[in-house]
């Protein structure tokens, strides 16, 4: 909300929610109206773009309805729950002449973008490898209604993977093939907080996923996404090249220290901020889409990038279940940097 009200090409006019009280709270700002349903929102002439913050299972349905109404769409990650849904959203948007964007937009902040500039400036030479680690015991520890994280469209990979894989694509480019492994150590989980604390629910997805992403530029990224690790000292993202290494902050945040280990030095040195939106917050991706519409350029948090990220994740899961390396059938342009 803070981002929307400060962006030059955005104005918040209407909101809706399954819980009317939430919509009323979001509509507290002057000039914003709470409406009763998505259909009511899409029928409004003063709505040009829809910010779709629903659960993964209905990302596609809301996006397709918005596109059919002639609206641009910016959605939460993942783009959709399936490849077929993603292809349908992109095809419908092309036919309707509207744009579709998708989270995460954290990669447009100073953390990932300063790291990308260091790679592009040759500070680590030719990139050869990267690592990306997201480890947690599971969202049921803090979320009062965590079931959707453990149903199709959820899990650590589809929930948190978009942050890490989007960052890796900004840093190293698209992925050509993947090799994966996955497991589900627990078939049930227990809610730990809120009014339903103590209730148990079934786990329907892999909760520990690891694999290798083979980037088209030859670099190999090692990925671990887990809801089964209670504590860890692993870094978030590191990129290693022929002339040095980089350490990047959590891609679920916009900023944080970027450190360089140059050549045969004996330690890390922190790089100054050199790229990315400073003091950014969630919503900057939608703001970038609006600015891109105003200037006629491509937007950075694009549906094409999100479709490729989704395909990488689903292909990694397929690889894990089939026990073999698989080719990723989609690709995308590396988004333009944020200067």
Sheet holding 220-226, edge to edge: 269-270, 259-262, 244-248, 237-241, 127-135, 220-226, 208-215, 175-183, 326-327
Tokens of 305: 């990038």
Together in a domain, 80 and 215: no
DSSP 48: -
Are β-strands 100-102 and 72-75 bridged in parallel, bridged antiparallel, or unpaired?
A: parallel
The helix/strand/coil state of 184 is: coil
Together in a domain, 175 and 40: no
Rg for the chain (alpha carbons), in Å?
A: 20
Q: How far apart are CA 313 and CA 319, in angstroms?
A: 10
| 334 in any annotated domain | no
| 288 in any annotated domain | no
Domain count within the chain:
2
Together in a domain, 245 and 137: yes
Together in a domain, 221 and 251: yes
Decide which of 102, 126, 141 is a domain's last residue: 102
Together in a domain, 82 and 8: yes
| 293 in any annotated domain | no
Together in a domain, 95 and 116: no
| 131 in any annotated domain | yes
Q: How far apart are CA 142 and CA 5, in angstroms?
A: 29
Together in a domain, 56 and 81: yes
Q: How far apart are CA 243 and CA 261, in angstroms?
A: 9
Together in a domain, 49 and 128: no
Q: How far apart are CA 189 and CA 187, in angstroms?
A: 7
Rounded to two decimals, the pTM is 0.96
Q: Walk along the chain (339 residues) and give the pLDDT tens digit of each residue.
A: 889 888 899 999 999 999 999 999 999 888 899 999 999 999 999 999 999 999 888 999 999 999 999 999 999 999 999 999 999 999 999 999 999 999 999 999 999 999 999 999 999 999 999 999 999 999 999 999 999 999 987 899 999 999 999 999 999 999 999 999 999 999 999 999 999 999 999 999 999 999 999 999 999 999 999 999 999 999 999 999 999 999 999 999 999 999 999 998 899 999 999 999 999 999 999 999 999 999 999 999 999 999 999 999 999 999 999 999 999 999 999 999 998
The domain spanning residue 77 has which CATH number? 3.40.50.720
With a CB cutoff of 8 Å and minimum separation 6, the contacts of 34 are: 14, 15, 16, 17, 20, 23, 24, 26, 27
Backbone angles phi, psi at 321, to 5 degrees: -80, -30
Based on the residue annotation, tell me whether 177 is a catalytic residue of this protein.
Answer: no
Together in a domain, 87 and 117: no
What Cα–Cα distance (Å) separates residue 83 from each residue in 42, 206, 245, 307?
Answer: 25, 18, 34, 8
Asked whether 267 and 261 are in contact (CB, 8 A), the reply is yes
- pLDDT value at position 153? 79
Decide which of 102, 123, 142 is a domain's last residue: 102
Determine the structural domain holding residue 266 and report its residue range.
Answer: 109-274+302-327
| 216 in any annotated domain | yes
Together in a domain, 174 and 319: yes
Together in a domain, 40 and 89: yes
| 338 in any annotated domain | no
CA terminus-to-terminus distance, the chain: 24
What Cα–Cα distance (Å) separates residue 182 from each residue in 40, 129, 179, 321, 329?
Answer: 42, 21, 11, 7, 21
Neighbours of 120 (CB within 10 A): 12
Decide which of 68, 102, 136 is a domain's last residue: 102
> Active site residue: 71, 77, 117, 177, which one?
77
Together in a domain, 159 and 58: no
The domain spanning residue 187 has which CATH number? 3.30.360.10
């Amino acid at each position: 909300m803070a981002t929307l009200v400060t962006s030059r090409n955005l104005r918040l006019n209407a909101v809706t929610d399954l819980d009317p009280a939430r919509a009323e709270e979001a509509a507290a700002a002057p000039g914003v109206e709470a409406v009763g349903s998505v259909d009511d929102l899409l029928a409004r002439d003063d709505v040009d773009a829809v910010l779709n913050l629903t659960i993964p299972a209905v990302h596609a349905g809301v996006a397709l309805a918005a596109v059919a109404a002639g609206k641009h769409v910016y959605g939460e990650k993942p783009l959709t729950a399936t490849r077929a849904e993603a292809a349908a959203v992109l095809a419908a948007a092309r036919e309707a002449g509207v744009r579709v964007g998708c989270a995460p937009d954290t990669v447009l902040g100073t953390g990932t973008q300063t790291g990308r500039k260091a790679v592009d400036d040759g500070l680590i030479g030719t990139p050869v490898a990267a690592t990306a680690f997201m480890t947690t015991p599971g969202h049921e520890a803090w979320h009062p209604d965590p079931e959707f994280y453990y149903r199709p469209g959820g899990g650590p990979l589809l929930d948190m993977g978009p942050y890490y894989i989007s960052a890796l694509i900004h840093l190293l480019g698209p992925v050509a093939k993947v090799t994966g492994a996955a497991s589900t150590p627990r078939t049930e989980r227990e809610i730990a907080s809120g009014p339903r604390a103590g209730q148990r629910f079934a786990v329907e997805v892999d909760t520990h996923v690891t694999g290798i992403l083979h980037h088209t530029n030859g670099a190999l990224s090692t990925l671990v996404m887990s809801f089964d690790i209670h504590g860890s000292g692993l870094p978030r993202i590191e990129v290693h090249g022929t002339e040095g290494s980089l350490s990047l902050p959590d891609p679920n945040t916009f900023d944080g220290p970027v450190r360089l280990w140059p050549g045969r030095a004996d330690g890390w040195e922190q790089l100054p901020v050199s790229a990315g939106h400073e003091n950014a917050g969630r919503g900057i991706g939608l703001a970038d889409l609006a600015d891109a519409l105003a200037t006629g350029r491509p937007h950075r948090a694009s549906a094409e990038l999100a479709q490729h990220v989704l395909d990488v994740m689903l292909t990694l899961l397929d690889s894990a279940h089939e026990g073999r390396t698989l080719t990723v059938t989609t690709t995308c342009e590396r988004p333009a940097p944020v200067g």
